[in-house]
Amino acid sequence: MDRAPSLPETLEYLEALIEERRLKRSDLLDLKGLAARTALPEQTIRNLLEGGNPPADTVNERVRARIKALSDAHLERTGRRMSDLAGSISRQLGVSAFWARQVCAGDKMPSVELLHGLVDYFHVDGGEAFFTAPAPEALNRALLSIAAAYQPLPEKTAAASDPLAAVQDQFDDVRGIALRQARALPPERWKVLNATLEALLELDESEGDQ
């Protein structure tokens, strides 16, 4: 199984994407947006984007901090009080309101069962790893999700009125781009290109047999 790109590799790809597609850097690397996605402090995200290291922490410290960040954001967004949030979590997850309030305030470490319930309650991606992953990994996961949303779409062709012809033209465009840019690809992206080309060749062979 191919390994996931590292944070520096993901940032390099996003910078190239910004330049190639003339995007606003803030659209992809917005500090407030990334903080909301990751429950990380903006300063930590800024340091990571600039190639720095996050503050040293333990798993317990990052879990408590991220739950508090999610809770604070929820209260600010909804206008609810902490007692309302704690009561809601208490009813939904079967813990005391007092304990839920302490967890949401970042004062207490939740049990594994409660942490699993908070994943669903706050609708976070990545399961419990959202709370436990080191900051670079958490940011990288969010950036990979953003990169996937900005994948280039095939250009419209003159044959758009013919669906089959349009699809074939899109494949031809991909082949041309791949061949022109092949020499500039780093090794880790060769695997993606190779898999794409193999899929295209298999498509051609299956069409030829029909």
> How far is it, in rounded angstroms, from Cα 66 to Cα 52?
20
Residues 6+ apart with CB under 8 A from 185: 193
> How far is it, in rounded angstroms, from Cα 206 to Cα 201?
9
138-151 pLDDT per residue, tens? 999 999 998 888 76
6-55 pLDDT per residue, tens? 999 999 999 988 888 888 888 889 999 999 999 999 999 999 999 999 99
> How far is it, in rounded angstroms, from Cα 139 to Cα 8?
11
> How far is it, in rounded angstroms, from Cα 186 to Cα 65?
37
**DSSP state, residue 56:** P
Structure tokens at 115: 């942490």
166-209 pLDDT per residue, tens? 434 444 444 454 455 555 556 666 566 566 656 656 655 555 55
Backbone φ, ψ for residue 87 (5° rounding) = -65, -40
The pTM of the full predicted model, rounded to 2 decimals, is: 0.69
